[in-house]
Structure 1
Amino acid sequence: MGRGAPGCRGMRFTPTRRQISRVNRCNCMEALLNEWLWKDEYWLPPGIRWQDVTLSEDEGRFPLPRDLVYTLPLALAFIAVRYVFERVIAVPLSRHLGVKDRIRIRAASVPKLETFYKQNSRQPSQTEVVSLGKQCGLSQRQIHTWFRHRRNQDRPSNTKKFCEASWRFVFYLASFTAGLASLINTPWFWDQTECWRGFPNQPVSKPHFWYYVLELGFYLSLLLCVSVDVKRKDFKEQVIHHIATISLIGFSYCANYVRVGTLVMLVHDSSDFLLESAKLFHYAGWTRLCDSLFVIFAAVFLVTRLVVFPGKVIHTTLVVSLDFFEPFFGYYFFNVLLLVLQVLHVFWAYLILRMVYKFMFMGKVERDERSDEESEVEDEDEDPEEEGDECSWEQRKGAINSKLASLANNCVLNNLANQRNLNSRLPKAR
């Protein structure tokens, strides 16, 4: 083979103008990122530059932003695994545990009302009801009935909510167990001062790397599925929580706040799987076990989110860290995200404490304050007399029976209260 033949080691390569232009553009983009995004003062304490952050190969790996590229395919993989899990495992499990879906009457096919429902409002005003009645030739009562049935028709079934809760329960339990096993022997688990010793030259072990990447991928999958999941009363707070969590995990990894980040994730996972387990048995109608798990969850939540998280985690990032470096942009940004999470913790703790207050001092809990309830007011009340021939007597009886069952499961902790006797109220409801 001659010297100038393809594949020769001594071949001399002359780049084309297009290749040179492409390389120049890449260099310009890299220079722009280094100049604006990866500025030393944004990510590192004063007096430290990226060139100073060096780790030998035997010490471990230093977290790099490009590692987060794995999170997007992981999020898509989580969505695919969840799809299979819910249909192969969660649905049969729900039937085995006795999860029952309410029998809901389907709204009659009225194209004008359907168009208004989808494009305008799910709850029309009185003026709109009158206008729709004239257009469709229906009475106001029939219009109200149609919209009530249509709203109930869109409500997620208990099986769907059970499947979602079971998927989150499996992940949170596995994540908490693996996270605790990887952190129990680390020095910063017991002494939070160690989170900053040697910062930012702190190696990241493989277990903590995968702990980070999997958690970030999971929360990204939750954010991608938020539009199709069950919409709850704290929907906006959940979206803010997911965005703040993703930003917190991503930024803390790039800035090598991994030690603190692992503690944040562990604190959250410690109570999340308890809440999801309580939801599972709530949907299955195992009220006594559900109430017991919820009591445990409430205690763990209040201790970890209102005591441990601000007293240990936020204190070490906000106060203790100043013993090791001066404040910089990353310090403020990281602590702002932590404080946003703490505000959400206070909001959810308020819902829990309000429910406990009603139970302890009023002897009742009017509504379930947990986040597994939908954001809208229940529209399950049906009037059999106004349905005519739309449904059979069996469907009506099933709807009434489902209402009676919901009365028995309407509040949390009802099995722990001796002040209420639902059995004496059921005949009145009938």
Structure 2
Amino acid sequence: MFISIAMMLFNPLWMESLLNQWLWQEEYWLPPGIHWQDVDMKGEDGHFPLPRDLIYTLPLAFTFIALRYVFERLIAVPFSKHLGVKDRIRIRAASIPKLETFYKQSSRQPSQSEVVNLGKQCGLSQRKIQTWFRHRRNQDRPNNTKKFCEASWRFVFYLVAFTAGLGSLINSPWLWDHRECWRGYPKQPVAKAHYWYYILEMGFYLSLLMCVSVDVKRKDFKEQVIHHIATIFLIGFSYCSNYVRVGTLVMLVHDSSDFLLESAKMFHYAGWTRTCDSLFVVFAVVFLVTRLVVFPGRVIHTTLVVSAEFFQPFFGYYFFNALLLVLQVLHIFWAYLILRMVYKFVFMGKLERDERSDAESEVDDEEEEPEEEGEESSWAQRKGAINSKLASLAHNCVLNNLTNQRNINSRLPKAR
């Protein structure tokens, strides 16, 4: 019995029959009255999208990951040094096996009771335990070079994708008249350029989803994961249902602002404040116009309202529009964060941080605090650093205008 079941599971013909019976039912993918044989376009000009074409996106995703690895090390890292990206030097946590085990297996931020218990196990004070965990968290915090490399990789892809997508769509009638997205649907051949536009975009988002666990975790981490999953389902389903024309518009709208955001991040990590602020303002304008005006007013309107003039709604109609509405909810969430940053920029004169997706939520930004009274070696190092800074100030004739260096040095033990 078990042998017969195993033979059925690994029988290609049986698997294909099961897929045809459950997954590829015509009512899921095609309007009422349309059959698969009706959209068979062999011999016609163009290529009709087939579900098996999406298999190529999986090896393409691994190719993107390999290309990213090479790009970050051969291009992004040297370029970050050229722009002046600097990494903050952090104090490494001392090697304490019990604390390390608790950090990796239990919690990165222990509660007060856990701190007391760990202090008893290790023979350390509560302050030392808290300081160790703060150093350990900061030790795992991604540096500016890593964040710059991620942003530069996404910038390159989004810029290339937007340029290539705009070039392939500039002469397409549905870019200017959205009714053309549905004229003749679903018997619409797909040009080679639009086929590759689809395959490359889906392969790239698959690679982002695969790397989400090792990339920098940001404040909107959950929203980013939902966005990637919704985008992959949107691209895959729209390709199988031959919603390619409107799908290319969705991808073009998203790519139009994403490369601006990534470029602003790059200059932010490099310390180019004015350039970063200018790019962010441009990004904010493009994002708000494309995601809150163009996307719902043109793209969602044409899929939700205009398409009903050409065919009766079916499962694919509802599923596709549901995915578009999920994206629109995410757009509203990010627009709220962006408007908060714009408010700070206008009324406070600066952008403190990227509230949309550049603020890590897992690590704290606390400055390194002085250790307890008994740690003479750490104090000696800090005292030497303070004395060197005071000497540098005196050399520049700044300290003499404020106070006497000898008096300050005499007060250092009290400050301690």
Counterpart in the other structure of 2:281? 295
Identity of aligned residues (%): 79
Note the alpha carbon deviations across 1:287-316, whole angstroms, 9 max, x for none: 000000000000000000000000010000
Matched letter for residue 54 of structure 1: D
Shift of 1:379: 3.2
Cα distance in 2 for partners of 1:24, 1:212 equals 31
Note the alpha carbon deviations across 1:170-215, whole angstroms, 9 max, x for none: 0000000000000000000001100000000000010000000000
Cα–Cα, structure 1 residues 395 and 64, in superposed 2: closer, same or farther, change >3 Å? farther
SS state at 2:377 partner: coil
Counterpart in the other structure of 1:11? none
Counterpart in the other structure of 1:159? 145
Note the alpha carbon deviations across 1:372-396, whole angstroms, 9 max, x for none: 1211353331123446435873799
Counterpart in the other structure of 2:13? 27
Counterpart in the other structure of 1:251? 237
SS state at 1:266 partner: helix
Cα–Cα, structure 1 residues 330 and 393, in superposed 2: closer, same or farther, change >3 Å? same
C-alpha RMSD of matched pairs (Å) = 2.2
- Match status 1:172 vs 2:155: no
Cα–Cα, structure 1 residues 371 and 391, in superposed 2: closer, same or farther, change >3 Å? farther
- The answer as to whether partners of 1:166 and 1:276 remain within 8 angstroms in 2 is yes
Cα–Cα, structure 1 residues 132 and 295, in superposed 2: closer, same or farther, change >3 Å? same
Shift of 1:356: 2.0
Cα distance in 1 for partners of 2:279, 2:176 equals 28
SS state at 2:114 partner: helix
Shift of 1:26: 3.0
- The answer as to whether partners of 2:87 and 2:145 remain within 8 angstroms in 1 is yes
Give matches, 1:169-208, under 5 Å. 169-208=155-194
Give matches, 1:345-360, under 5 Å. 345-360=331-346
Cα–Cα, structure 1 residues 122 and 396, in superposed 2: closer, same or farther, change >3 Å? farther
Cα–Cα, structure 1 residues 178 and 391, in superposed 2: closer, same or farther, change >3 Å? farther
Cα–Cα, structure 1 residues 190 and 144, in superposed 2: closer, same or farther, change >3 Å? same
- The answer as to whether partners of 2:119 and 2:125 remain within 8 angstroms in 1 is yes
Counterpart in the other structure of 1:315? 301
Give matches, 1:15-414, under 5 Å. 25-361=11-347, 367-376=353-362, 378-386=364-372, 388-389=376-377, 393=381, 397=385
TM-score, normalization: structure 1? 0.84
Counterpart in the other structure of 2:407? none
Note the alpha carbon deviations across 1:107-166, whole angstroms, 9 max, x for none: 001111111111111111111111111111111111110000000000001000000000
Counterpart in the other structure of 2:394? none
Note the residue ranges of structure 1 that are not aligned, 5 or more in a row: 1-17, 402-430
Shift of 1:36: 1.1
TM-score, normalization: structure 2? 0.87
- The answer as to whether partners of 2:138 and 2:363 remain within 8 angstroms in 1 is no
Shift of 1:220: 0.2
Counterpart in the other structure of 1:7? none
Cα distance in 2 for partners of 1:158, 1:23 equals 49
SS state at 2:184 partner: coil
Cα distance in 2 for partners of 1:24, 1:140 equals 59
Moved more, 112-121 or 22-31: 22-31
Matched letter for residue 143 of structure 1: I
Shift of 1:33: 1.3
Matched letter for residue 70 of structure 2: V
- The answer as to whether partners of 1:105 and 1:391 remain within 8 angstroms in 2 is no
Cα distance in 2 for partners of 1:397, 1:184 equals 60
Moved more, 320-329 or 355-364: 355-364
Moved more, 142-151 or 381-390: 381-390
Note the alpha carbon deviations across 1:338-382, whole angstroms, 9 max, x for none: 000000000000001122223445667665413112113533311
Matched letter for residue 212 of structure 1: Y
Note the residue ranges of structure 2 that are not aligned, 5 or more in a row: 390-416
Cα distance in 1 for partners of 2:83, 2:58 equals 34
Matched letter for residue 389 of structure 1: S
Cα distance in 2 for partners of 1:229, 1:265 equals 23
Shift of 1:285: 0.2
Cα–Cα, structure 1 residues 172 and 144, in superposed 2: closer, same or farther, change >3 Å? same
Moved more, 352-361 or 150-159: 352-361
Cα distance in 2 for partners of 1:207, 1:195 equals 16
Note the alpha carbon deviations across 1:50-87, whole angstroms, 9 max, x for none: 11113242411100011011101100000001000000
Counterpart in the other structure of 1:419? none
Note the alpha carbon deviations across 1:250-307, whole angstroms, 9 max, x for none: 0000110000110000000000000000000000000000000000000000000000
- The answer as to whether partners of 1:384 and 1:396 remain within 8 angstroms in 2 is no
Cα distance in 2 for partners of 1:301, 1:259 equals 22
Cα distance in 1 for partners of 2:233, 2:49 equals 16
- The answer as to whether partners of 1:103 and 1:395 remain within 8 angstroms in 2 is no
Shift of 1:97: 0.4
Matched letter for residue 191 of structure 2: S
Shift of 1:35: 1.4
Matched letter for residue 238 of structure 2: S
- The answer as to whether partners of 1:148 and 1:379 remain within 8 angstroms in 2 is no
Cα distance in 1 for partners of 2:380, 2:304 equals 64
Cα–Cα, structure 1 residues 277 and 91, in superposed 2: closer, same or farther, change >3 Å? same
- The answer as to whether partners of 1:42 and 1:330 remain within 8 angstroms in 2 is yes
